[in-house]
Amino acid sequence: GLLQPFSDAIKLFTKEQVYLNYSNYIFYYFAPVLSFMLSLMIWMVIPYYFNLIVFNLGVLFFLCCMSLGVYMIMIAGWSSNTNYSLLGGLRAVAQTISYEVSLILIMLSSIILILDFNLMKFTEYQMLIWFMIMMFPLSLCFLSSLMAETN
């Protein structure tokens, strides 16, 4: 049980690479890489105790990066040039966009509470009581929207 992740990694690295004949090779392989880079960019605005970056529009940057993830899904579905992956990509894009609207509206309620887009202000305002406790039904809606956003 302990060595199974290592054996799985070795198995995946030694597997034969499958190349699709009619795929757009560059887009097909770089869409997941760009999606990963986007998710790493979101980590830049997460507030820590030793922030190197003070970003006053952190919430807006977070929402923009989340919205750009839709394009990576669309490019990944389109670039393989098969009908089923295109339909799956379009379904994922439609689902992501529909849940982003509710996610943005839920986040807007806490932004109105703080009156600032800075994520450090979110941590300062939650020193005494968490927003999760103060707005519990909204927190459950936020959690379900985040879960649906990640498919």
Tens of pLDDT, residue by residue over 5-51, are: 889 989 888 887 776 777 788 888 899 999 999 999 988 888 877 76
Q: Report the C-alpha gap between 87 and 67 in whole angstroms.
A: 20
pLDDT tens-digit series, residues 71-124: 999 999 999 888 898 999 999 999 889 999 999 999 999 899 899 998 888 888
Q: Which residues contact 135 (CB under 8 A, 6 or more apart)?
A: 109, 110
pTM, full prediction:
0.78
Which residue is it, tokens 């909204």?
A: 138
Instruction: Give the torsion sign (CA, 132, 134, 136, 141).
Output: negative
Q: Report the C-alpha gap between 91 and 85 in whole angstroms.
A: 10
Q: Report the C-alpha gap between 81 and 87 in whole angstroms.
A: 11
Q: Report the C-alpha gap between 135 and 147 in whole angstroms.
A: 18
Query: What is the reported pLDDT for 122?
Result: 85
Q: What is the CA radius of gyration of the chain?
A: 19
